[in-house]
Structure 1
Amino acid sequence: MRRMATARARMTTALVVALVLTGACSGQDEPVGTVKVASTLGPGEGNLNLVTLPGAMESGGNDPRVDWVTPFQERTGCKVAWKVARNPREMTDLMSDKDRRYDGVAASPEVAGQLVATHQATPVNTNLVDGYKKLEPRLRALLKHSGKYYGVPYIWGSNLLMYDTRAVQAPSSWAALFEPEQARRYSGRVIVRDSPLAIAEAALYLKGKDRKLKIGDPYSLTAKQLAAVGRVLAKQRPHVKDYWALPADAVSAFAGGEAVLGEAWPYQVDVLTRASKPVQGVAPSEGVTGWMDAWMIGARVQHPNCMYQWLQWTASPDVQQQVAEWTGVAPANPQACSGDRLKSGFCNAYHVGDRAYLDKVIFAHTPTKECRGPGDNKGKHECTDYAEWMKTWIESTKQ
């Protein structure tokens, strides 16, 4: 089973991300955020301490053929240790703890924005990362804040509308899933991913359905807009068979004919298609949402030279190939699909190198009080934060 994908769904819904964190100091009582951007690299310090969610690191323990840690250690002399966080909240807490000095973190969207906002991440000198400019430009841009780059793209994915071609006429809009009358057609055979961030897909539907709401960025919603989305989800709930947390659950539901319409990732579409199941995934007309994980440097980095070597290593095509194949996600470096690395079928299924597609993806960020985007979301009103999204999600889908 593709482990990163499994971990992502489970971790996303586990706990509310901490949105207000106390400023911390390093072991030398140096204020967070004063760590300078590296200008040159020296020899490795011999050690590297990282924080990840499950599946982001492999050293042959789960499969001896899957190991991108040991070769790095042998090549650089940097001995790698990593702490596996149970969820994004714990990941944020670990990187913000003044008594801990982690060098870097494989940050999900819920984490990355908070580390930047609370000065728990150090800007990256991208000139010191060989191959950085080979990474997808759109992904690189997501990590730019106030003229500085706060990470190196690692992996990404998108959220699609998947359907059984035998039972459902090809949908073109999120309305097929969120419009109550349309969802009723497939009542009891609809599945939705179990994540508060799935609110964004319903917001995209409402953006076109009710223009008076003036929804702009689907991840930046005012209280009125969020309440409207909550009502849509509550009306959809009677028709939903399951809110899936594990990708395998969505695969099983479609493979067994228990589900015919729902939210999915390219992962499920790929697995079911290769198993000759009659499914297709489409990008709805209102837009498709997505996510990106990135390696970020901690504010209290102790081994900066080893950390930069790790950034270069994980951005390389060969490592990106391993990560993509093992985790079932798209690599940030499209060169992973060049030569005899990833198979063309995999690359096509995950839209690797398809910049026309990638440019249309609306990438997730942590919902905060500060509004973003066009229309009423452009600094005119206070928006809702992740805690409010979690509350709305639970009330609309669980109660």
Structure 2
Amino acid sequence: MKRIPHTARRGAVVGLAIASVALLTACGTSSGSGDSGGDAATELGENEGQVSILAWPGYVEDGTNDPTVDWVTPFVEETGCEVTTKTFGTSDEALNLMKTGDYDVVSASGDATLRLIAGGDVAPVNTELIPNYAGIYDFLKDQPWNSVDGVAYGVPHGYGANLLMYNTEQFPTAPTSWDVVFDKASENAGKVTAYDSPIYIADAAVYLMAHQPDLGIENPYSLDEDQLAAAVDLLKTQRESVGEYWSDYLKEIQAFTTGDSVVGTSWQVIQNVLAGEGAPTDVVLPEEGATGWSDTWMIASEAKNPNCAYAWLDYIASPEANATATAYFGEAPSSDAACDFRDDCEAYHAGDADYASQIWYWTTPIEKCLDGRTDVTCTDYAAWTAAWQEIKG
């Protein structure tokens, strides 16, 4: 398999700079208008000859980092759109950079997409102008992290689950529940690891959905004050057994290699690396389900090169380009056709709708309850960030 880029791609995905998403309740109409970046394009013109892309490391490779890794050059040759790229390390960094107006396209995770939409930084997209959109898995389309009121704000890229990793020597029988990092965490005190981000609160909420149904949690990103408090209490208890919170995947690989960590949240690609090195580890999707991510390519509302931007969204969703890009990072591709160009789709459960249905993809918490409740106000991302600081102490 190809190794993921030499960077903590999702490390510290969420920082402290919080953008308001209160306007989101006004976003998105059937026509794609509103306070969310204007209308979608109705037709395309000639390509402008250039496009500026803001992306996670490893998402826009042109051979500079590795001469054998290049899916940008074919795009340039095909479209005439020269590509300039800037990478970012956190979603908050991307949010701030998008406000400069210097970028036509951004790859956004679910903890950033709604904030970009609410801030008017990205525009709706006309999927009819993106031929390869038709081949994308249906379960990735029209989702809360990439659409508002049925209006698409981008094209799905790759996706994956935040899995439970365990040391097979410590756990000769594979665990089936997240209880090993929550209610039973003390059994491995000091060797439990957890993802270092406010969005990890949702992992606790997924667990509580199954084990404390009286809390009434129906969506782990839609928590009222009492539900958030319950998740915080669970994570404070877990904190006593956590040896290290991780955001750099290389550090987690090292911790499981040395045995400093024996159980905790992880990604399939990390397990693939560890397996290749002969480490005694494995991963499982527990019975409660899991959180995960589904990234979205979005177009700036004031894009200077909208035609080349649309060309990029179509190209990166094409089977071969999508296969190459998602394999390089280490995630499932966005279409079955992409699997014709990969030999590891089974390991990533690509296209498995039942598997995907067990994943709660990262979605920005907002005051408008995402689970449909109207009798309460849900906690927003700022509240989650404050809670995370409290949890970690």
Fold shared, TM-score > 0.5 on shorter chain: yes
Structure 2: unaligned runs, 5 residues or longer:
25-33
CA separation of 1:135/1:389 partners in 2, compared to 1, >3 Å: closer, same or farther? same
Residue aligning to 1:286: 288
Q: Structure 1 residues 189-198 or 140-149, which shifts more?
A: 140-149
Q: Is the 8 A contact 2:51 2:81 kept in 1?
A: yes
Superposition deviation, residue 369 in structure 1:
1.2
Q: Is the 8 A contact 1:254 1:260 kept in 2?
A: yes
Structure 1: unaligned runs, 5 residues or longer:
24-30
Residue aligning to 1:394: 389
Q: Is the 8 A contact 1:5 1:329 kept in 2?
A: no
Residue aligning to 2:179: 175
Greater share of residues in helix = 1
Residue aligning to 2:140: 139
Q: Is the 8 A contact 1:53 1:85 kept in 2?
A: yes
Taking the TM superposition and a 5 Å limit, the aligned residue runs for 1:1-399 are 1-3=3-5, 6-10=8-12, 12-20=13-21, 35-97=38-100, 100-142=101-143, 143-168=146-171, 169-179=173-183, 182-338=184-340, 341-343=341-343, 346-373=344-371, 378-397=373-392, 399=393
Q: Is the 8 A contact 2:7 2:57 kept in 1?
A: no
Q: Which amino acid aligns with 2:176?
A: S
4+ aligned runs moved over 6 Å, structure 1 = none
Aligned equivalents of 1:335, 1:277: Cα separation in 2: 32
Superposition deviation, residue 275 in structure 1:
2.8
Superposition deviation, residue 173 in structure 1:
1.5
Residue aligning to 1:28: none
Superposition deviation, residue 120 in structure 1:
2.4
Aligned equivalents of 2:312, 2:255: Cα separation in 1: 39
Q: Tell me the secondary structure at the aligned position of residue 219 of structure 1.
A: coil
Q: Is the 8 A contact 1:204 1:218 kept in 2?
A: yes
Aligned equivalents of 1:209, 1:34: Cα separation in 2: 41
Aligned equivalents of 1:121, 1:4: Cα separation in 2: 29
Q: Which amino acid aligns with 1:248?
A: L
Q: Tell me the secondary structure at the aligned position of residue 220 of structure 2.
A: coil
Q: Which amino acid aligns with 2:118?
A: A
Q: Tell me the secondary structure at the aligned position of residue 291 of structure 1.
A: strand
Aligned residues: 379
Q: Tell me the secondary structure at the aligned position of residue 352 of structure 1.
A: coil
Q: Structure 1 residues 84-93 or 318-327, which shifts more?
A: 84-93
Query: CA deviation digits over 1:153-192, x for unaligned, max 9?
Result: 111111111112221242222222111xx11111122111
Q: Which amino acid aligns with 1:362?
A: W
Superposition deviation, residue 40 in structure 1:
2.4
Superposition deviation, residue 258 in structure 1:
2.2
Aligned equivalents of 2:23, 2:201: Cα separation in 1: 28
Q: Is the 8 A contact 2:111 2:199 kept in 1?
A: no
Q: Give the alignment's TM-score, normalised by structure 2.
A: 0.90
Aligned equivalents of 1:190, 1:153: Cα separation in 2: 32
Q: Tell me the secondary structure at the aligned position of residue 265 of structure 2.
A: strand
Query: CA deviation digits over 1:4-27, x for unaligned, max 9?
Result: 8722123x143343125999xxxx
Query: CA deviation digits over 1:107-155, x for unaligned, max 9?
Result: 1112211122233222111111122111111111222322311100111
Query: CA deviation digits over 1:5-57, x for unaligned, max 9?
Result: 722123x143343125999xxxxxxx975743222222211111222233321
Superposition deviation, residue 354 in structure 1:
1.5
Q: Is the 8 A contact 2:8 2:89 kept in 1?
A: no
Superposition deviation, residue 63 in structure 1:
0.1
Q: Which amino acid aligns with 2:182?
A: F
* RMSD (Å) for aligned C-alpha atoms: 2.2
Q: Tell me the secondary structure at the aligned position of residue 371 of structure 2.
A: coil
Q: Is the 8 A contact 1:104 1:297 kept in 2?
A: yes
Q: Give the alignment's TM-score, normalised by structure 1.
A: 0.89
Q: Which amino acid aligns with 1:46?
A: G
Query: CA deviation digits over 1:236-277, x for unaligned, max 9?
Result: 112111111111212112122222211111111222223333
Q: Which amino acid aligns with 1:173?
A: S
Q: Is the 8 A contact 2:161 2:293 kept in 1?
A: yes
